[in-house]
Chains A and B, each alone.
Chain A
């Protein structure tokens, strides 16, 4: 019998590559190749190569800038707000010795309830004749047009925070629970106050969890388009017109050069934010 000339190390490498091949193929076919095609299309109009002209036009387009501004406002407002609220709630819950499984499940309900059902409820709540306006009117205030005013953004931020808060609380609770109690005890012996325990021990020690929560929330913040779309349709009012609306509408308008350029810009935006946070996390993580 002929003996294989491959070394054990080489065999291991081949096996490893073969194992990752299906995943790699999937990623290549569904992500890498489309991304390259998308980038290529962003440099063309029809069959004509135009270089970065599509990008220049994109940044001269007022609707794109509006979408970029709204997406920026939403990301900058909603994510920190959600993280702060969920962190505070997690701290509060952590003060209890035991959290019942019912309570844990209840926190996750908003994430698992189907969007269509949620939208029906939000429409009832935020409609001109809905619950909130009914309450406001009974208190003598004017009707607030949540679906057609600057309040639309507030409404979307509120929905986002409500929906993902429970999920983040659970992540933060798990992170906080993993911080060694001996650190707190030592700090207390040294005379540290409650707020110092949080700022000097808890926050630095849960940096990996915070990073993970941020990453998840960034992803979820781009998924909020589903709610916006279901509530406002393809053409929402100018306060909640997001980058995803711009991309989605340009798909239906068959404007592929602009769509591709906008998608590349959006992906770069996410990559840059993640890169900055990665650097930040590496620098400040105690773990």
Chain B
């Protein structure tokens, strides 16, 4: 130890100073880790992470932020932090939530395992948030579509708040359908069971027609055939009771039909029997679509589906969000919730009042806004000023479907969901593109899903 503590003490002092510097550098580095990102006054506002700051939810936030300047103050605004990718968000989100922080608002369009998050206390119970609020005009959830709102409730707690929804429907024309002797009208329900029978005479090789567009929308990257295939798979998973039905004869028999449907949409055909699935579905836009087909001397047809049984009126949430249970901005979160669910905002966002904010939004969850949308659609006129309205079979059928929704899923872009992409994405890809056997596919699908549901 002589070299450490020499008699003179000069070297000792040097050693101590060196050590002190070393410790200081280490500590400074740690401090740097904590404060490496300086977002100004973000700490005093609610935050939202996104990789796409031009989607519908971000548009809603922008409108809200402007509204705050007039009605509240800057502290009520939501700071949108943009990330390069979903993966980057998820990594940051996971780390921050673990540390008891994270963004205050989490949109359902983010690629997160919501089935799991509903169960593990990530989200704040919105019912509790409303009860804690002392304002006179409280949010009354009876004013919203209960079938849609229900999909955000888990164990009696309202964790996710859906704002807008779309319905599972197919749009085509009688003329296209007649080419293949397919009998469909506005009251037809396409189920996994009758699909094979209905389209038995459909052969895309002959007519150069696809079943549905395989086109990828540049914004949402929707691949409609894969969407349908994933929806079909999800229909055989009971996420709440953690059960799968992939081994059932029902699934096995319908799997072949779905594969045929996929193959009938894979190639780049010039035309398709059915239109794109998730765009132009607001009532006003559907009225215009009806008018367009009529002007082309075609008769548009709307079919409900694909669903498991005739009685299913299925829908999906287009825009929705949850509030992080770690939030310190409960008052502000309530203000945003109230704003997003308000009749005025809901009416505007679905294009029923003023300039449409989005072409991707179909129906508002607010019942009054829905009635407004119907009224607005009934007043739609063509270029000559002639009222097109909703008093026709096509629109009546569409409104009837939207009115009677009895099942709703949280995911619009099913293929992009955590389960369908991260858990079974490779397995589905192997089955569709690499031709693994049906038995092997079912075995792998069951194993991965069961682990995901129970772990």
Any chain A CB within 8 A of the CB of B207? no
- The contact of A62 among B23, B440, B454, by CB within 8 Å, is B454
Spot the interface stretch: A12-20, A107-115, A157-165, A194-202.
Answer: A12-20
How does the 8 Å CB contact mask read for B1-28 relative to A, with 1 for contact and 0 for none? Answer: 1001100010010011001001100110
A residues near B42, Cβ cutoff 8 Å: none
Spot the interface stretch: B116-124, B366-374, B403-411.
Answer: B116-124
Any chain B CB within 8 A of the CB of A52? no
How does the 8 Å CB contact mask read for B440-455 relative to A, with 1 for contact and 0 for none? Answer: 1001100110111011
- The contact of B23 among A22, A253, A255, A257, by CB within 8 Å, is A22
Any chain A CB within 8 A of the CB of B97? yes
A148 touches B444 (CB 8 A): yes
A11 to B6, CA, bound (A): 10
How does the 8 Å CB contact mask read for B350-381 relative to A, with 1 for contact and 0 for none? Answer: 00000000000000000000000000000000
B residues near A255, Cβ cutoff 8 Å: 116, 119-120
Any chain B CB within 8 A of the CB of A275? no
Interface residues of A in 170-185 (CB under 8 A from B): none
A residues near B93, Cβ cutoff 8 Å: 254
Nearest neighbor of B112 in chain A, beta-carbon distance:
A254
Any chain B CB within 8 A of the CB of A252? yes
A22 to B20, CA, bound (A): 9
A residues near B121, Cβ cutoff 8 Å: 45-46
B residues near A252, Cβ cutoff 8 Å: 90, 94, 113, 418, 422
- The contact of A254 among B30, B117, B444, B451, by CB within 8 Å, is B117
B residues near A251, Cβ cutoff 8 Å: 94, 98
Any chain A CB within 8 A of the CB of B426? yes
**How many of chain B's residues touch chain A, expressed as a range?**
35 or more
Interface residues of B in 408-455 (CB under 8 A from A): 418, 422-424, 426, 440, 443-444, 447-448, 450-452, 454-455
A237 touches B447 (CB 8 A): yes
A253 touches B120 (CB 8 A): yes
CB distance from A95 to the nearest CB of B (A): 46
A18 touches B16 (CB 8 A): yes
A250 to B5, CA, bound (A): 51
Interface residues of B in 29-84 (CB under 8 A from A): 30
Any chain B CB within 8 A of the CB of A234? yes
Any chain A CB within 8 A of the CB of B231? no
A residues near B12, Cβ cutoff 8 Å: 11, 15
B residues near A26, Cβ cutoff 8 Å: 26
B455 touches A250 (CB 8 A): yes
Nearest neighbor of A147 in chain B, beta-carbon distance:
B444
A241 touches B451 (CB 8 A): yes
B455 touches A148 (CB 8 A): no
A4 touches B9 (CB 8 A): yes
A250 to B452, CA, bound (A): 9
CB distance from A264 to the nearest CB of B (A): 15
A63 touches B19 (CB 8 A): no
A21 touches B19 (CB 8 A): yes
B1 touches A12 (CB 8 A): yes
A12 touches B120 (CB 8 A): no
CB distance from B128 to the nearest CB of A (A): 12
B residues near A18, Cβ cutoff 8 Å: 15-16, 19
A12 touches B455 (CB 8 A): no
- The contact of B447 among A21, A64, A238, by CB within 8 Å, is A238
Interface residues of A in 41-88 (CB under 8 A from B): 41, 45-46, 61-64, 66-67
Nearest neighbor of B115 in chain A, beta-carbon distance:
A253
B94 touches A235 (CB 8 A): no
B residues near A256, Cβ cutoff 8 Å: 97-98, 120
How does the 8 Å CB contact mask read for A28-42 relative to B, with 1 for contact and 0 for none? Answer: 010000000000010
A235 touches B454 (CB 8 A): no
Any chain A CB within 8 A of the CB of B325? yes
A41 to B120, CA, bound (A): 13
A residues near B116, Cβ cutoff 8 Å: 253-255
A residues near B90, Cβ cutoff 8 Å: 252
Nearest neighbor of A233 in chain B, beta-carbon distance:
B426
CB distance from B301 to the nearest CB of A (A): 40
Nearest neighbor of B121 in chain A, beta-carbon distance:
A46
Nearest neighbor of B113 in chain A, beta-carbon distance:
A253
A234 touches B440 (CB 8 A): no
Nearest neighbor of A241 in chain B, beta-carbon distance:
B451
CB distance from A233 to the nearest CB of B (A): 6
B120 touches A254 (CB 8 A): yes
B residues near A120, Cβ cutoff 8 Å: none
A235 touches B451 (CB 8 A): yes
A98 to B351, CA, bound (A): 84
Most chain B CB within a 10 A radius of its CB, from A22, A67, A235:
A235
Nearest neighbor of B436 in chain A, beta-carbon distance:
A128
A255 to B5, CA, bound (A): 52
B94 touches A254 (CB 8 A): yes
A257 to B325, CA, bound (A): 15
A29 touches B454 (CB 8 A): no
B residues near A137, Cβ cutoff 8 Å: none
A residues near B16, Cβ cutoff 8 Å: 15, 18
Nearest neighbor of B5 in chain A, beta-carbon distance:
A11
Nearest neighbor of A16 in chain B, beta-carbon distance:
B4
A residues near B451, Cβ cutoff 8 Å: 63, 66, 235, 238, 241, 249
A257 to B423, CA, bound (A): 21
B residues near A15, Cβ cutoff 8 Å: 1, 4-5, 12, 15-16
How does the 8 Å CB contact mask read for B105-116 relative to A, with 1 for contact and 0 for none? Answer: 000000011001
Any chain B CB within 8 A of the CB of A192? no
CB distance from B1 to the nearest CB of A (A): 6
Any chain B CB within 8 A of the CB of A25? yes
A residues near B22, Cβ cutoff 8 Å: 22
B residues near A150, Cβ cutoff 8 Å: none
Nearest neighbor of A41 in chain B, beta-carbon distance:
B98
Any chain B CB within 8 A of the CB of A5? no
B residues near A146, Cβ cutoff 8 Å: none
A residues near B15, Cβ cutoff 8 Å: 15, 18
Q: A67-B455, A253-B120, A254-B94 are in contact. List 16 more A-B contacts (CB 8 A).
A: A15-B4, A15-B12, A15-B15, A21-B19, A22-B22, A22-B26, A63-B450, A64-B455, A145-B440, A148-B440, A148-B444, A237-B444, A252-B113, A253-B113, A255-B116, A256-B97
Some 17 contacts from A to B, beta carbons below 8 A apart, are A15-B4, A15-B5, A15-B15, A18-B16, A21-B19, A21-B23, A25-B27, A64-B455, A233-B426, A234-B422, A241-B451, A251-B98, A253-B120, A254-B98, A254-B113, A254-B116, A255-B120
Partner-A contacts on B (CB < 8 A): 1, 4-5, 9, 12, 15-16, 19, 22-23, 26-27, 30, 90, 93-94, 97-98, 112-113, 116-117, 119-122, 325, 418, 422-424, 426, 440, 443-444, 447-448, 450-452, 454-455
